[in-house]
Amino acid sequence: MARSLLLGVLLMWPGAALAQQAQAATDQARAFLVNGGPTLWVIAALSVVTLTLILWKTWRLVLMGAWTSRHSLKAVALFENGDASAAQNVVKGRRSIRSSVVHAALQAIDTLPEANAREETTRAAKAQLAQARTGLGALELISTIAPLLGLLGTVLGMIAAFQALQAAGSRADPALLAGGIWEALLTTAAGMAVAIPASAALTWFEAVIDKLRRDLEDSATRLFVADRPKKIRLAAE
């Protein structure tokens, strides 16, 4: 009696209820994976890869300072005001993409002819943008193949369902066909569920990198436009 009462109290405890719900969700997910076949397992693995890529790429962009422009803008403003030394000190050692490219441009302007300095600035900007784009190819691939894998699983499931229906002959049960169809459609839904967030994240990352590219072009243009009058005055002297 006491044991039954204790069991009832434990079942009513919020933690126990949450544990039961988690267990039920786990069992349901396992059943879906089993019913969906090998294709659904592949899509489930892709979902883990997609989530990992999105989190890693977001963290990577944060470390690269994709949303930080204060120091680079300050350095460009100082250079435009004629204080090249202070401008270099502002961005020296900074890890952000904008600051790295501005620092490379300032050093190139200080040590190279203008044509060579422009080439060096372009090279530095392309290298930084290439690093920023790392991982986007994998997201693009996942957003493309996930729906196709889902469609493949659906087609294979439909084939299996109709084969079972044919084998049953005159004793065929329509419920058997209906069950095979909904199980096959699980892979299509799963493929879309993976492809949609992957495509959305890819679009967002590309927008962030495109904004970076525009900012780098703007900073480089301002630096070289500001540098040009100095060289003209030196030539006149």
C-beta neighbour count of 45 within 10 angstroms:
11
Nearest to 72 by CA among 227, 223, 219: 219
Cα–Cα distance for residue pair 153/193, rounded to 1 Å? 14
What are the CA-CA distances from residue 108 to residues 78, 201, 227 (Å)? 16, 36, 11
Q: Which two tokens stand for residue 92?
A: 């020296």
Nearest to 29 by CA among 193, 157, 198, 195: 193
pLDDT in tens, 175-210: 666 666 777 788 888 899 999 999 999 999 999 999
- What pLDDT sits at residue 119? 94
Q: Which residue has the higher pLDDT, 167 or 122?
A: 122
pLDDT in tens, 50-101: 999 999 999 999 999 888 889 999 999 999 888 888 988 999 888 899 999 9
Nearest to 227 by CA among 129, 127, 116, 92: 116
